[in-house]
Chain A
């Protein structure tokens, strides 16, 4: 039962960490919005999906890569990858702002019930995914390989691959940037202030609408970055990939303590590892079941997730 885990432990762990970092970034999309609005941004999964398409469009249509082209090298590689990342973040960020505008703003101004907002968000996520489905004829889209997946070295029998390394380090860097932003920047402080006490924040001269739009934007940027890494590692997308990713990332956010940025970090990594280990030990068909059982157990003992709720607890 455990022979796979033992035999391939380090390969699995590296894969789990890479996947985990992608979860971390998508979780941030959920957690940021939850922190300020106390609402699940149900459309975040589709924001992610749009980000993945942004990544592919950049390499395929702007830089003209195809499935058969050779991977990029040198400065060109950096340029293409960076453009892809920016495009993915821009697409996702703008989509997130659009979502806020269409699905949330009016309802928030009215101060109506949370469920209406939830359904509105579900509606917009149906719109986003259906739109993409119609645009792509329900077909999967493969990504040209831009970053060659060179095996850098072998550690304890595990291949250390370039794309995995890039993903882990770049995603971690983006996470820490974001955490710093929320902790130290003026806008970040405003976001935290709103998440702790909306009225008091207003009384300090914080423009609530701007803060909320920024929060969606920042969450969208993180989610978009995740879209880029996802494409770099898996090189594939389809209009419906958001659903699985969204569910996993949301689970990760809740595991860590939704609304808590650091919680998204640990929750994402934890979930990434849990998924690969559980798949290796029990079989992939029981992966989701294991994840949800662990989630229930965690919540039973820590009803606000591993790291407690809300952005407010990210103290200096």
Chain B
């Protein structure tokens, strides 16, 4: 056993201290205890890339943990594919809710799927930490969607992002004329609402037009016509990066010089890659990714997983680690894990401080403003 310990030490030296504590707590010859965590998100279907990225980060966290603690714990991941679809979530969630071996769920990734899953997890007392479900109502006790007490998230909500996006988009523009449009998704429509509300608090800014474009659209000519007619000099899109890339190209090709801004749906290094030069100068709000937050960790990730980290990698990784720490502290029942999460206070890999409010949100509103410069989204610091 000692040799094993030494090998582990050699592999992950940073974990030495933690390991020592853990080793002291277990009896010498006990077999490693198998515990289960789940990741829930879209792993197949049209949204699968988001889910795959998130799950990779979770897998990475577990891989590190198991390597460190192989004597004590063997954490296994249950992949729960809800396709991002509330209908599918309603079918898979009962099974997960009932399976008491699963101690915690990283996810669900999408708000709609979360709402559909909640009743089953509430009944099972299963703690959730979502890396990406941003809908405000999930942590609003007055809403029917309220996820308390089991729902937590390590991502800031739309009502914090909306004003931040409004500010960042109009930064340096004393009399901004803003056009806001969404992609009709359950993520984009509410966010557009918070952006509109946030604009009212920005001095000199005015809302000059809106649109709502199906998320399968590739021809934005009518929207661009509206933007031109409205005379907007700032355009905010609250949907996702792939459509944003198509749109910004068309906007630039139409000759418009209006500032383009988007929220964390657009916040993806793929965005400037897809959009090319048209993306230059676009302003995006988001929370730093792994690459940006911790390049060393990113390199280790790529080495271990064989792919680069993707969207919500930091959030997913941190969410998984909160559960893993709970397990390491010997919390191996759902109730204990939930209690541990609620009382958790710690720092994530990107330096974010996590502490959940009573409703499941993280304290603080750490949105940063990014700008697309030469094909890369550069962090310009927190939006104030």
The answer to whether B249 touches A140, judged by C-beta atoms less than 8 angstroms apart, is no
A151-B255, A235-B246, A284-B212 known; A12 vs B375 contact (CB < 8 Å): no
Interchain CB contact (< 8 A) of A138 among B52, B211, B219, B275: B52
The answer to whether B253 touches A161, judged by C-beta atoms less than 8 angstroms apart, is yes
User: Which residues of chain A come closer than 8 Å to B48, judged between CB atoms?
Assistant: 133, 137-138
The answer to whether A137 touches B245, judged by C-beta atoms less than 8 angstroms apart, is no
CA distance A75 to B213 in the complex (A): 38
The answer to whether A12 touches B212, judged by C-beta atoms less than 8 angstroms apart, is no
Mark B232-245 against chain A: 1 for CB-CB distance below 8 A, else 0: 00000000001001
User: Which residues of chain A come closer than 8 Å to B229, judged between CB atoms?
Assistant: 3-4, 7-8
CA distance A67 to B46 in the complex (A): 24
* B348 smallest CB distance to A (angstroms): 26
Chain A residues with a Cβ closer than 8 Å to the other chain, count: 43
Chain B residues with a Cβ closer than 8 Å to the other chain, count: 38
Among A16, A19, A283, A288, the most chain B Cβ lie within 10 Å of the Cβ of A283
A96 touches B (CB below 8 Å): no
Mark A1-35 against chain B: 1 for CB-CB distance below 8 A, else 0: 00110011001100110010000000000000000
CA distance A159 to B251 in the complex (A): 12
* A12 smallest CB distance to B (angstroms): 5
Interchain CB contact (< 8 A) of A68 among B213, B249, B375: B375
Within 8 A of B (CB), among A227-243: 230, 234-236, 238-241, 243
Mark B201-238 against chain A: 1 for CB-CB distance below 8 A, else 0: 00000000001111011110111111011000000000
The answer to whether B213 touches A285, judged by C-beta atoms less than 8 angstroms apart, is yes
User: Which residues of chain A come closer than 8 Å to B218, judged between CB atoms?
Assistant: 230, 234, 236, 241, 244
The answer to whether A159 touches B255, judged by C-beta atoms less than 8 angstroms apart, is yes
Residue of B nearest to A151 (CB): B255
User: Which residues of chain A come closer than 8 Å to B222, judged between CB atoms?
Assistant: 4, 12, 15, 275-276, 279-280, 284, 287
B254 touches A (CB below 8 Å): yes
Residue of A nearest to B220 (CB): A284
User: Which residues of chain B come closer than 8 Å to A137, judged between CB atoms?
Assistant: 48-49, 52
Majority SS at the chain B contact face? helix
B160 touches A (CB below 8 Å): no
B85 touches A (CB below 8 Å): no
CA distance A144 to B375 in the complex (A): 13
Residue of A nearest to B52 (CB): A137
Residue of B nearest to A139 (CB): B49
CA distance A68 to B280 in the complex (A): 12
B352 touches A (CB below 8 Å): no
Within 8 A of A (CB), among B355-373: none
A142 touches B (CB below 8 Å): yes
Residue of B nearest to A67 (CB): B276
* A70 smallest CB distance to B (angstroms): 10
CA distance A68 to B246 in the complex (A): 16
B292 touches A (CB below 8 Å): no
* B109 smallest CB distance to A (angstroms): 13
* A231 smallest CB distance to B (angstroms): 10
User: Which residues of chain A come closer than 8 Å to B216, judged between CB atoms?
Assistant: 240-241, 243-244
- B residues with CB within 8 A of A: 45-49, 52, 184, 211-214, 216-219, 221-226, 228-229, 242, 245-246, 249-250, 253-255, 270, 273-277, 375
A-B contact pairs, 9 of them (CB 8 A): A12-B222, A137-B48, A138-B52, A234-B246, A244-B217, A275-B219, A283-B212, A284-B213, A284-B217
